[in-house]
Structure 1
Amino acid sequence: ARQYLHRHGVRFRVVRKGTGSLALYWRRLDVDRVLAGREPVRRRVPPCYMDMAGAVSMLGVVRSYVYRLVKKGLLREYRCRMKTARGLRVRCFYHREDLEHVRLHVLQKR
């Protein structure tokens, strides 16, 4: 937790105890800011969204092309944390309507 908070720029205050030991206190406003920016936790795939494998098979392209479409703004991406056997993992899903638009208009120009 200390590494995560430090990596995200959360400020802290060191307090010396009477016995010579030190205590580290993180600023609550900074911690709340970091927690508010995290992805929501979901149990199931959100409706109207597809995962990467579905998007790749629907468009018939490679994964890097899907990432490029997201970067250009032609494809909406939804990021959430889902519980797996290895803990909470960030998963990306892509809007089905945008995928159909890309398949019909963008890929026909080839």
Structure 2
Amino acid sequence: MHPGGIKTELGRHTDPVAEAQMIRTINQRNAAAGLPPFRYKTVPQGAATSVWAAVVADGDVVGRRYCEDCHVAQIAGDPEVRGGVQPYALDPDRADALWELSEAMVGERFDPLN
């Protein structure tokens, strides 16, 4: 689940110059793809996808899937354009490797959700 870009206190230490450059890069890629410019979401807009996935959407439709903007994301065709889910993120072998790495980093083992 991805809430989108939200201007909150979480980014309070972000370098303004780096942030501006990131937004310029996003907007250049969006323009080349015919997409609108980046805009931050409000906190309620950012929470909407979580609420939708938890309360509104059919669990069989959203379960174990990547959701954004109150829908299940499509597989992205262009890694340079934001939005959608990249094919590598759906690879079960990579998911297992990430789980194992995460356990190693925190020094604890967890039962994976099945």
**When the two structures are superposed, what TM-score results if normalisation uses the length of structure 2?**
0.20
* Higher RCO (CA-CA < 8 Å; seq separation 6+): 2
- Looking at CA atoms only, which structure, 1 or 2, has the larger radius of gyration? 1
**When the two structures are superposed, what TM-score results if normalisation uses the length of structure 1?**
0.20
- Higher helix residue share: 2
